[in-house]
Structure formats: structure tokens, C-alpha cells
């Protein structure tokens, strides 16, 4: 089963995500495409700072938009991350036995 964790900042906006594990091939492909497209679009269209660690064979991707995590304004990246969350929710509606989605507040480490 795929586990998706959505990180939110203290204002409630999405600032990152962690997706891990493998599962149903259709669901895995859809989730991977959404996550990779989100990261690629943030990199290409915003130039914002972020961290991203991934291991395709290990089945995880961990992404954090550093500005949004600190509650900075970043409208374009915020919109892309909210779109990812919406897409994951849509997949969950159709394949709820193959993916879980949780949210947690991300606390900026000083």
C-alpha cells in the first residue's frame, strides 16, 4: 500500500509531502506521475528553494518547499502543491485500499 503524508505549515497550507512504498501498479504510476510532475513544475516555473530526496527503487520521495514551510509567500508553488494534494485525494477516492493519505503540521527546525 502506498502511504502519502502531506506536510502543512502552521497556516494550513501544503508545504511538502512524503510518498513511500509500492502497491497496485496503476496507483503507483499515477501517484509517481503526480509527484514527479509537481516537483518538476516547481523547479521549472518558480525557481523556489526546496529539498527533495527520493529513491525510485526504494519507493519513496520526500519533498519540502523551504519557504512555504517557514510560512513565506510562494503562490505558484503553493498552488502546485495543493493540486498534488487534490490529485492524491482523487486517486484515494477510487483506490482507497491501495493508498492512504495523512496530513501533519511541519515544524521548522531552527
Q: Which three cell numbers stand for residue 101?
A: 493519505
pLDDT at 83: 98
Segments making up each domain of the chain, as ranges: 2-105
Mean pLDDT over all residues of the chain? 93
Residue 39 has pLDDT above 80, yes or no: yes
**6 pLDDT tier (thresholds 50, 70, 90):** very high
Helix (H) or strand (E) holding 7: strand 2-8
Q: What is the mean pLDDT of residues 42-51?
A: 94
* Contact by Cβ (8 Å): 88, 33: no
Cα-Cα-Cα-Cα dihedral sign, residues 63, 67, 70, 71: negative
Residue 109 has pLDDT above 80, yes or no: no
Q: What phi, psi does 95 have (nearest 5°)?
A: -130, 50
Q: Which fold has domain 2-105?
A: Alpha-Beta Plaits (3.30.70)
Which candidate, 106, 88, 108, places its Cα nearest to that of 98?
Answer: 88
Amino acid at each position: 500500500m502506498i502511504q502519502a503524508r502531506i506536510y502543512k505549515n502552521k497556516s494550513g497550507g501544503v508545504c511538502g509531502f512524503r510518498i513511500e512504498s509500492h502497491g497496485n501498479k496503476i496507483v503507483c504510476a499515477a501517484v509517481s506521475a503526480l509527484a514527479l510532475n509537481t516537483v518538476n513544475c516547481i523547479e521549472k516555473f518558480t525557481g523556489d528553494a526546496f529539498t527533495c530526496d527520493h529513491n525510485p527503487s526504494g519507493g519513496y520521495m520526500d519533498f519540502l518547499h523551504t519557504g512555504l514551510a517557514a510560512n513565506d509567500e510562494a503562490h505558484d508553488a503553493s498552488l502546485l502543491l495543493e493540486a498534488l494534494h487534490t490529485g492524491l485525494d482523487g486517486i484515494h477516492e477510487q483506490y482507497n485500499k491501495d493508498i492512504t493519505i495523512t496530513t501533519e503540521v511541519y515544524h521548522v527546525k531552527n
